[in-house]
Structure 1
Amino acid sequence: MSALSRTQHTRKHVIETAGGVVASQHRQAAEAGAAVLRAGGDAVDAAVATSFVVGVLEPWMSGPAGGGAAIHWRADTGEAVAINFGMRSPKGLNINDYPLSGDGKAGDLFPWERVVEDRNVEGATAIAVPGTVDGLGQAHARWGRMPWAELLAPAVSHAREGMLVDWYAALLIASTARNLAKDPDAAAMFLDDGTWPKGSGWTAIPDNRLDQSRVAASLAHMAEAGPRSFYEGDLAQAMAQDVQDKGGCLAAEDLAGYSAWMGAARPVDYRNARFHVMPGLTAGPTFARVMEQLETADLSTPAATYVAYARALDQAYAERLGKMGDDGEVPEAPGCTTHFSVVDRDGNMVTHTQTLLSIFGSRVVSPSTGFLMNNGIMWFDPEQGRPNSLAPNKACLMNVCPVLGERGDTRFAFGASGGRKIVSAVSQLASFVVDGEMDVEQAFHTPRIDMSGGAQIIADETLPTEVISALSDEKPTQTTRRTVSPYAFACPAGVMRKDGANSGCTEIMSPWGDAISEDDL
């Protein structure tokens, strides 16, 4: 039985404003984006600033050396544009360097067959070609109003000061301290004496900061030289050499040849609404399949509605796992992704998810750049002959699911972190808005379930008894609380625009997440 308090209740206050709003898993990143909106920037400008700041202040989740996807809504043209900046395997990758160990399943996010020395999970051999910076750069080149250098300035400032290690940061660092200790540069950044997480005692005001001076220098260089300087030139050469010196195969040629994909988002009609999702090797098609099934489902009562959610998610994931090659994820694995959403005064929107994949990615820091590197190779199945099998120069299959929705005079931009839990969270939030006619505050405070291809349904224990009973009749059901760690129902963030007024909210249990309006500053 859980020892958690039965009398504690958590809520997040939501306001409506004519000003732009940024909802992020880190409050200071949201503030940086809101400041850009206040200065006259576009939603895209705010997204650039938010992305780089959250990479500094939540480095174990994402950063320049990761990947992801975003959808942009342009109010003047009515376009929904998708940008896939997912990671790729290096061209020089040799699948023979990843032999199966025969020791059963791997122990991180995906239960693939285990590889010798976990070479696909952590260390330099797990590093894929990053895409985040090019995705941001292409969006800024197309729609940005403010200079690139101004948008990176907040991240440079935060890196020079160093991220404050409070209790939450110390908890996350401690969760991976043994793995971080294997890389001297990661240990130097995140640990004391190569063992303990940097931080203060639990009764003390935190006064410890990470040394991110090398990150600051790299970001300052990128601010001056532009986004392609991450992929071409001295910084790119140094980063690739660092990875190769540690045994990886990322090459300067891989970086120079990287280009994010930009094109039309996939429209998904649903009842009296329309969603715009990511096409291709993302969770967008899975979201579309969930909504297709819900369209004809019985949603007349809460019990019927949640059973319909469970059935639709179960079927959609069965199809995903069979056709797209994503072969499962350990439910207890820690979160390792970040999501933020933006709406500006003109109604332009961005829903943006970025990740290192595992928490702390490969647990390898590039000493020349200061960047924590991804472990995108783990996204591939190490067994050959499958749709998602590991191979050189191949796109990774991602669980990211940024979604734009519109119903009448309401438009919203939602997304989440949480691996395979993402689709469960985002599809239910979308249904809450469309079917339940909820605003963003109601939607984010409404309990959810998770049904992401596993043997059982995970249900919020605050759901009514009749709902839990109906779910249990459908499939084995386990109840649990929404907590700070782990996030049993993913960690969403979203913004909404209705009748010209903007609002936003983040996962109510996230101690760092907040939605900030430009009018709040």
Structure 2
Amino acid sequence: MHSNFSTTQEVRKRVVPTRGGVVASQHSVASRVGAQVLKDGGDAVDAAIATGFALGVVEPWMSGPGGGGAMVIWREKEQRAYAVNFGMESPAGLDPADYPLTGQGRVSDLFPWPSVLDDRNVTGATAIAIPGMVAGMDTAHQRFATRGWADLLAPAIDLARQGPLIDWYSALLTASSAQLIARDPDLAALFLHDGTWPRVGAWTASGQDRLDMSGMAATLSRLAQAGARDFYEGQIAQDLVRDIQGKGGCLSLEDLRSYRARVQEPLTVPHGAAQVHLMPGLTAGPTLADYLNRLESGGKADIPAMADALAGAYAHRLKTMGHDGETHASPGCTSHFSVVDAEGNMVAVTQTLLSIFGSRVLSQSTGLPMNNGIMWFDPEPGKPNSLAAGKPCLMNICPAIVCDPAGGFAIGASGGRKIVGAVAQLVTMMTDGAQTLEEAFHSPRFDISGDLLIADATFAGDVIEKLSERHQVAPRPNAAYPFHWACPSVVRRVDGQNTGCTEVMSPWADAVRVEDL
């Protein structure tokens, strides 16, 4: 099977080494925030906290305080990795009977679950799970950071007060969800014009067309001054609960009060000369570990062998953890960023609202878009991941730290079920394949998280043919929307030199060095 797609157009991103720190994220503005923290003397964890909150402002449809996630931290002096889990959980008052199956088809979002009445598990306040992002950043701050909490939130507050610039890409992402955004008048007032049309920046790029994020700015300001627990026990908590319950959700003050992020031992897997540190538990970490265990470290990146190992690992995930069926195309729906500082400390963070624009609900009193973490659960009873009250969500996220004799790298991606495949391939390319960071990011990839293997059309014909012998293959051209192979952001350290790179096709994502400021 050969592709007929044109290969005359080439898109590249430059990778420049430095002895200083690097932040790679899905938005260049957030990367600059993190790099500035490093320049001012902060370490990788400080930069990660500042970057995380900044991303919640500049791409609020992907992640932010209304969501959750996880991070893996490498402490160079300790020669040790830590995992911080701040995943979302279902409210204690959730009743699975409130999510009856229609018996008519499947959900048309990230996961092809059986359809629920009124899409109550996907859209609206009934889809909102307990958010963990603020608790996760607070836990990392208390345990590992060197800079003050308020100082690290200050850049995000400034960005929210200014309002992120509306451009063609933000308009594209808003247009993709405009019908669902319009269901919530508060969210529509923020992102849509006249409650219907996506806000579009001026053709002349005057710089005056910005989103009004003053509500989020006020919440972040209070969070900076009152502390992180205000989100779970104070005024912010009360505002969130009042807003969400007023729109039909069951999130309670006790849900927020009892929530805690957790510092865990990472799941560590040897792979050749490298040690791969992953998130344990209900994440894609165990699936990546399964992939690595299936794949022999043979000194090269063999694409068909990688496809077989990923197919096996994903089949095991679907059988034992949930998420069965085909994969749906997605523009990303999550934020991932990676940080390395001059001393070699590294952090990989994935944070998410789950779907793009999450539940498509705005907490109007706080200005925060809210997650739809309930969609992570299988609404059909009796499955490994069936919906229940007070239960952690099964996440697709896969932040990782890979340590090798020359240094290592922090890696992760956004893109729903496509995340683990993208991370797995990049890890293999840079370990077994001995590729540089730039080479790995500009190599073609595939996705096999469903029944169909979606292959980059630029793969050589013999590779496509070998893949077709074992899998049903569909070649696709690389594109800025949707991402067929997820959206990774990686930093790498080799012999004291640091580099960073982000998804080549993303117009916003960028790696920023301290020297670039």
Matched residue SS, 1:231: helix
The aligned residue for residue 379 of structure 1 is 376
- Does 1:479 find its partner at 2:475? yes
| 1:3 shift after superposition | 11
> Structure 1 residues 311 and 192, CA, compared in 2 at 3 Å: closer, same or farther?
same
The aligned residue for residue 271 of structure 1 is 272
Identity %: 56
TM-score with structure 1 length normalisation?
Answer: 0.97
2:330–2:483 Cα contact (<8 Å) kept = no
| 1:90 shift after superposition | 0.3
Q: 2:457 aligns with which of 461, 466, 490?
A: 461
User: Could you tell me how far apart the structure 1 residues matched to 2:326 and 2:49 are?
Assistant: 30
1:166–1:206 Cα contact (<8 Å) kept = no
Q: 1:413 aligns with which of 379, 397, 410?
A: 410
Q: 1:447 aligns with which of 441, 444, 448?
A: 444
| 1:13 shift after superposition | 0.8
User: Could you tell me how far apart the structure 2 residues matched to 1:96 and 1:125 are?
Assistant: 12
2:325–2:451 Cα contact (<8 Å) kept = no
The aligned residue for residue 308 of structure 2 is 311
| 1:145 shift after superposition | 0.9
- Does 1:119 find its partner at 2:120? yes
- Does 1:258 find its partner at 2:254? no
Correspondences of 1:201-216 after superposition (within 5 Å): 205=206, 207-216=208-217
The aligned residue for residue 345 of structure 1 is 342
1:268–1:274 Cα contact (<8 Å) kept = yes
1:111–1:327 Cα contact (<8 Å) kept = yes
| 1:328 shift after superposition | 4.1
1:66–1:374 Cα contact (<8 Å) kept = yes
The aligned residue for residue 225 of structure 1 is 226
1:25–1:340 Cα contact (<8 Å) kept = yes
**Unpaired runs of 5+ in structure 1?**
none
Q: 1:322 aligns with which of 319, 322, 325?
A: 319
User: Could you tell me how far apart the structure 2 residues matched to 1:381 and 1:24 are?
Assistant: 31
The aligned residue for residue 507 of structure 2 is 511
TM-score with structure 2 length normalisation?
Answer: 0.97
The aligned residue for residue 89 of structure 2 is 88
User: Could you tell me how far apart the structure 1 residues matched to 2:204 and 2:515 are?
Assistant: 34
User: Could you tell me how far apart the structure 2 residues matched to 1:145 and 1:440 are?
Assistant: 29
Q: 1:355 aligns with which of 322, 327, 352?
A: 352
Matched residue SS, 1:269: strand
Tell me the matched-pair count.
Answer: 516
1:92–1:249 Cα contact (<8 Å) kept = yes
User: Could you tell me how far apart the structure 2 residues matched to 1:55 and 1:201 are?
Assistant: 23
1:167–1:202 Cα contact (<8 Å) kept = no
| 1:250 shift after superposition | 0.5
2:112–2:328 Cα contact (<8 Å) kept = no
User: Could you tell me how far apart the structure 2 residues matched to 1:440 and 1:36 are?
Assistant: 24
Residues 27-64 of structure 1: CA deviation (Å, up to 9, x unaligned):
00000000000000011110010000100000110010
| 1:229 shift after superposition | 1.4
User: Could you tell me how far apart the structure 2 residues matched to 1:77 and 1:26 are?
Assistant: 31
User: Could you tell me how far apart the structure 1 residues matched to 2:218 and 2:314 are?
Assistant: 43
User: Could you tell me how far apart the structure 2 residues matched to 1:2 and 1:222 are?
Assistant: 52
State the AA in 2 paired with 1:284: G
User: Could you tell me how far apart the structure 1 residues matched to 2:214 and 2:5 are?
Assistant: 39
| 1:196 shift after superposition | 0.6
1:329–1:420 Cα contact (<8 Å) kept = no
The aligned residue for residue 43 of structure 2 is 42
| 1:5 shift after superposition | 6.1
State the AA in 1 paired with 2:407: T
| 1:476 shift after superposition | 1.5
1:113–1:383 Cα contact (<8 Å) kept = yes
User: Could you tell me how far apart the structure 1 residues matched to 2:164 and 2:467 are?
Assistant: 43
2:437–2:501 Cα contact (<8 Å) kept = yes
2:430–2:440 Cα contact (<8 Å) kept = yes
Correspondences of 1:17-416 after superposition (within 5 Å): 17-200=18-201, 205=206, 207-295=208-296, 305-328=302-325, 330-416=327-413
2:26–2:502 Cα contact (<8 Å) kept = yes
| 1:204 shift after superposition | 5.4
2:452–2:473 Cα contact (<8 Å) kept = yes
Matched residue SS, 1:80: strand
Moved more, 119-128 or 287-296: 287-296
| 1:2 shift after superposition | 10
| 1:6 shift after superposition | 3.8
| 1:390 shift after superposition | 0.5
State the AA in 1 paired with 2:459: L
User: Could you tell me how far apart the structure 2 residues matched to 1:270 and 1:324 are?
Assistant: 24
> Structure 1 residues 340 and 464, CA, compared in 2 at 3 Å: closer, same or farther?
same
| 1:490 shift after superposition | 0.6
User: Could you tell me how far apart the structure 1 residues matched to 2:267 and 2:356 are?
Assistant: 29
User: Could you tell me how far apart the structure 1 residues matched to 2:468 and 2:299 are?
Assistant: 18
| 1:206 shift after superposition | 5.6
Moved more, 55-64 or 319-328: 319-328
| 1:254 shift after superposition | 0.6
| 1:271 shift after superposition | 1.6
| 1:330 shift after superposition | 3.2
User: Could you tell me how far apart the structure 1 residues matched to 2:371 and 2:192 are?
Assistant: 19
User: Could you tell me how far apart the structure 1 residues matched to 2:206 and 2:8 are?
Assistant: 26
User: Could you tell me how far apart the structure 1 residues matched to 2:303 and 2:151 are?
Assistant: 46
State the AA in 2 paired with 1:81: Y
Matched residue SS, 2:83: strand
1:198–1:209 Cα contact (<8 Å) kept = no
2:400–2:412 Cα contact (<8 Å) kept = yes
| 1:327 shift after superposition | 2.2
Q: 1:470 aligns with which of 463, 466, 481?
A: 466
User: Could you tell me how far apart the structure 2 residues matched to 1:364 and 1:2 are?
Assistant: 41
| 1:8 shift after superposition | 1.8
State the AA in 2 paired with 1:358: S
The aligned residue for residue 491 of structure 1 is 487
State the AA in 2 paired with 1:497: R
| 1:432 shift after superposition | 0.7
Residues 375-400 of structure 1: CA deviation (Å, up to 9, x unaligned):
00000011111111101000000000
Superposition RMSD in Å: 1.6
User: Could you tell me how far apart the structure 2 residues matched to 1:171 and 1:299 are?
Assistant: 42
